[in-house]
Structures are given as C-alpha cells and as structure tokens.
Structure 1
C-alpha cells in the first residue's frame, strides 16, 4: 500500500461482505478483430475506465485514469503472442446507457494494442518491439511485413459483453463483477471502481470538493487510492440519507451514487456549502485531530465528526473552539462511542450510535 494511504485507518470491516439480492446479469459473447478494437478505442466507442483523481484526456478513456501497470516486457510479449498466433485471454466489457462499452477486464492488453498501433509509449517514446524474438526485434507497427500486419489486424479477441441494466440492483451486480475481475497489478479500492462505474456530475463534484483547502488541512495529502474522496461520499450519503442506511456500507454508497449520479434530487450548491462550512469549522477549531481518533484518519470517526459538526452548524456558527475540543475529547472517552468506531463499524446500530452520539455531543457547543 502506498505511503499516503497508510495515513488512513480503514476501520471499515465489511469490504469483503457480499452485497445481497444481486440481479442476474445478461451477457453475450462476441469476437472483435484487433484492428477493430483499436479503432473503437480511438473513437471512444470502447472506453477504458480511469481511476485517478485527474483526467488525462487520453483517447478511449473516461472518468479518472488508473496508472498503467504493465512493464515493457509484458507489453512487448503480448504483441509478440498475437504475431505468433498464440491464444490469449478474453476481455470483459459492459454496455453503457449510450451504447458505449466500458472495459471491466482487459484494459492493460487493450491499451498496449492502442499504443503499439499509435507507435508511441506513455512517455512519448517510440513503441518499438524489444523484449521479443529476433524476428520481431526493432519493429514498430508500420514496419511489419504485410502478411504479419494482416495477421495482427485480423486476430480475433473474444469479448464477454454485459448488457446494460437501468436498475440499481443491476449496477450493484456490475460493481460486484468488477470486484471479482479485479486482477490488475494493483487491486482497485471500492471508490476507484465507483468512479469508473458511476461516473457523472456527482463524482466530478466530489473531486472538486476534495481540493477544498480546509478539507486538505484536516485530511492531509491527497490519497492516490481515493480514500479522501470516499470519505466525502460517506459524508454526503449519511447527511442526505442516514435513515436509509443498511449494511454493507459499500452497497449503501453505491446506491447513493447510482441514484444521484447526475445530481438527481440533490441541491449540489447546498451540499457544497454544508461541506465547506463543516470543513472550515473543523480546520479552524480542531485542526489536524479533527478526523483522527489517534494518529491516523479514522473513517468511522470522521463520519461522526463531520455529521456532528454539520448538524450543529444548522443552528449557527460555532464560536467556542475550546468547548468543541472538550466535546470531542469527551466522545473519545466514552467506551460506547469508542466501540462504535473500532470494530464492526458498518453495523447499522453502530453507525446510528456513533452519529447520534456525535450530534448530541456537539448540540450544546456555543
């Protein structure tokens, strides 16, 4: 795990919990020739999901781009396998509402092909085969002999295409499939998968909120695995729909993003104001300890602090910083509260308990 994410104490223990009542997926198999796959990638008809905080604008990508994890030998040998006519694994795609196809599994292979045809690596250098047999060494796509180029262009790659489902349960099923197909060099975190599958104006708004200075002050350096953005999503979901919460937490967050993907039913300016006011208060009066029960950011504790402070601010600004600090310390001395942020943190009663206790603790703060 990277150094930044070691600052986040993931007290959530339901990451491996199975989401119940999943909808069966409808899918079909089809074959794409390599040339057609690259053409569809370049035109944006096939979309490689992105997972990083900042869009790159690479053709055929959408959302937030995950770092390319294949090394040059893997890329070269994959192209060589196709030139030799070796069998290769199939890919998984999911049909979107607009008929575009999102890559669930196979992005490293597809992006390798895209770069080989473009003859450029990610760093701008020429993509010339190197870690291959002598017959292919030093070649780029445009230098392939005509019969070899046809062999590559006309090689078929099998694709399993999951049909589009407009239902929340269908989206949950695709999320669960993505978890199961998560076979890249670096496992994806839940928020990274959400960014790819539920990308819309709400995800964009969360990304923008993540840059808010007061939030950065209380969270710390940006998380490469989007743990900071997941905490913002948790705050928004609990703030708007706490009464609808049920375990698993990841399912609750998925459903919230799915229902409000493009701000349906949300006043984003009001939410942004609430978030910024809460962060400003926490940063000015509590500073770095605001989201930390101990040395690391504690996700469950952060839920309680953010919701507790936001609820109190509905009655007006907090003017007594010492009283807020004292209320925070009193919470952390309460065995019942400490239990609610230490284990089984996704249980409905523990979620309700810690949020209710925080709201009650901050209610009387001047």
Structure 2
C-alpha cells in the first residue's frame, strides 16, 4: 500500500498542469507589445521565417486552415514565455504591425503586396479576430518546461541540452555564458574545436554548476538546469564577478599548463575531455593565482605525471565520468597536488579558521546563506565556512570561503552527500 502511495505521489509531481486558451491575433499583438508574452529575438532558434513563409501563414489563417497549437509557460507576475510557436506568433504580430507586405500567396493572390493597413477594413477586422489555440503551462509546473520543450522539439536533429537551456533560461547569466564563449581569446586553443551548438556555453556552465562538487545531488542534467534557474536574477555585480573568475582561470590554466591542459594522456586522440577539464579548472579556482604561478613548473610536472601514470585518475575521466564518485575523485586528485605543492606558510593561510577581515570582505547587505538560501541580516549572525572542507584538503583562502548563518554552519559540519543521491543522466560525452 505504501509503495502504491509513493508511486501515486511521484506521478502527481510529474503531472503537467495546463489551461487551454483561444487568443485572437489582436490580443496576441497586445500581449506581445506589453511584454506579457515574451518572444525574445534571442530565443533559441530566433526568428527565421522569411516574408514569403510568414505570408503563407497569414493566408492559411484567413482561409481557415488550422494553425498548430502554441505552448506558453507561466512565469512570475502573470507573464508568459513561449515554449513552442515563436515563429508563428512573431509572424502574426509582425504583419499586424505592418512590418512586411504579403507575398507569394497562391489562393488570395489579390492580397499580394499589401501591408495590413492596406487591407480592406472588413478584412482587417476579420484577421484581428481570428484565434489561435494556446496551451498554457501553469506556474506550478514550470520546473517541467525543460522536459516539455525537449519533447516538443523531437525532430530530425535533436536539440542538445544547452540549446534547450539557452531557450528556457534567458537572462543576464545566460548572456554572460554567451559573452565569454564569443570573446574569450583562449578558449579555441584550449578546447581545440569550434563553438558549435552552444558547446562552449555548456562547458562554462559545467564549471559553475560542478564547482561545489562535494554537494552533488539529483541528476547531472537537473543540476545544470537548476544552476541556471537559480542564477536568472543575478545582479550586475554578481555577473561581473563570475565572468572575471572564469576568464581569469582560463588565462591562468593556459599560462601554467599550455594548450593541452584539457587532454587526457591515455587517450589515443587529441581531443578536449570534459572530465579532465573539471578536474583542473575547479581546483585551480580555489587557490590564489599568485600561489599557483609561483609553483607553476612543479604543478605542471605533477599534473602531467598524474595524467600519464595514475590508473585510477584515468579511469575517472572516461566511461560514466559524470557519476558523483568519479567527479569527486578526479577533482580531489588535482586538489591534492595543489594542496601538497603550494606553500601555505608563505601564503599565511596554514590555519583552519578564516580571519575576521575575510568575513568583512564577504559580507554585504542582502547576502545569502550558502546553506539554507535565506538572507543573512547581520555580520554577527554568520560565520565563514570552507566551500571545500578543510579536512578534505580545502585551503583557508577567500577563494574557498562562503558565508553561512551561524546555526547553519554548526549544523552542517563537513558532510558530503552520498553518491547514491547523484545520478548521471548525461549522454556521457567526455568531450562536451
């Protein structure tokens, strides 16, 4: 009985709650103009209809040919984003706004060359009251919109995960991923390929999403989705900080390890390996740049030796490489090298506890507890915690520091989520 109840509860969580609406073209235009329906031109595949194809759509609705249903997702404040149907919606709105004349019509040839304002008044009214059907995914089901969009777009060429994320998680963080991918001068030489189908953006996101690798939970794909969802409203300062962090790391890695930094030595092909990338860029992000540069030769030699001789490490960067235990093991291997080589005494960081000065640098009005996700109201109500636990080799430096409520920090300890709580649902492409 209990098992049956659990199955019913699981099914209820996955049920998509929707409502069906019939929207006139005039209402559609009004909604778009008021930004109540978002059809951002940066939306995944962007607007690709030419005027002839858009004209054919106008002709179809005028003569009564059924128009495929569009799918909308309810966002905050009653705004809707388009999941499927952007081309149709944009074409109708463009014509009602007189942005193109009808062309190439086969049935209503007399209308060729006419803008909307040039149609007879009766035909204008007839077009404005024409309706399209919309399925609106209600707000309590919007976490499923990633899966819905994927299923609606099962075509000859399946959309890659990051192509879908680019469509669903539009905002400053997504713009930052694209900006880094398009402007960072070192990525082509380190990745050894072109940025096709948002491959660079996914690798950049991969760094941010996996950085707290001691707390992996859920599934690989969901973790990546959740990270973008949670950073939709990042401030300009947070975006700038994240961008500077990533760009600085890429330049540092290129300087210390060279163009082959993200290769695996045991591979028979010289190709970017995402698992090797994780194992290097994440540990590098937790140590001061000057400390790494000071020991660059020794770090380079030890990492090359690890790649060439360590069988366990090489097992962690191939089949099933996105399983939780493999992610932690390969990152800890590089973390151990850095921890062993970098002289913490010289850096004055050979201690377990952070200074009050670091606490002051981290605290700001509105800062959020990294454990519970709630706002920290007072500097006296928080403590500085290691992101990578001290007992796991994490250094006591600001790069490895986070603020938590005092009560959260003392209840958290240095627990690591069990590997069974993290499922690899990726395509297991180590070159992504």
Judge same fold: TM > 0.5, yes or no. Answer: yes
SS in 2 for 1:327: helix
SS in 2 for 1:296: coil
8 Å contact kept, 2:71–2:82: yes
Q: Which structure 2 residues correspond to residues 82-93 of structure 1 after superposition, within 5 A? A: 82-93=61-72
Partner residue, 2:251: 280
Q: Distance in 1 between matches of 2:58 and 2:158?
A: 24
**1:256 pairs with 2:227:** yes
8 Å contact kept, 1:206–1:233: yes
* CA separation of 1:138 and 1:314: change in aligned 2, threshold 3 A: closer
Q: Distance in 2 between matches of 1:268 and 1:144?
A: 48
**1:67 pairs with 2:46:** yes
Aligned-pair CA distance for 1:354 = 2.0
Q: Distance in 2 between matches of 1:344 and 1:132?
A: 55
1:118 is aligned, of 97, 102, 109, to: 97
Q: Distance in 2 between matches of 1:185 and 1:115?
A: 28
- For the aligned residue pairs, the C-alpha RMSD in angstroms reads 3.2
Q: Which structure 2 residues correspond to residues 91-106 of structure 1 after superposition, within 5 A? A: 91-106=70-85
Structure 2: runs of 5 or more not aligned: 1-9, 343-432
* CA separation of 1:135 and 1:272: change in aligned 2, threshold 3 A: closer
Structure 1: runs of 5 or more not aligned: 1-18, 49-60, 121-125
* CA separation of 1:147 and 1:95: change in aligned 2, threshold 3 A: same
Q: Which structure 2 residues correspond to residues 133-212 of structure 1 after superposition, within 5 A? A: 133=107, 134-165=109-140, 170-182=141-153, 187-210=158-181, 211-212=183-184
Aligned pair count reads: 325
8 Å contact kept, 1:247–1:346: no
Partner residue, 1:223: 195
| Mean Cα deviation higher: 130-139 or 230-239 | 130-139
SS in 2 for 1:93: strand
Partner residue, 2:417: none
Q: Distance in 1 between matches of 2:313 and 2:173?
A: 31
8 Å contact kept, 1:206–1:232: yes
Q: Distance in 1 between matches of 2:77 and 2:272?
A: 39
* CA separation of 1:263 and 1:42: change in aligned 2, threshold 3 A: closer
Partner residue, 1:349: 325
Partner residue, 1:310: 285
8 Å contact kept, 1:90–1:106: yes
8 Å contact kept, 1:215–1:283: no
* CA separation of 1:214 and 1:139: change in aligned 2, threshold 3 A: same
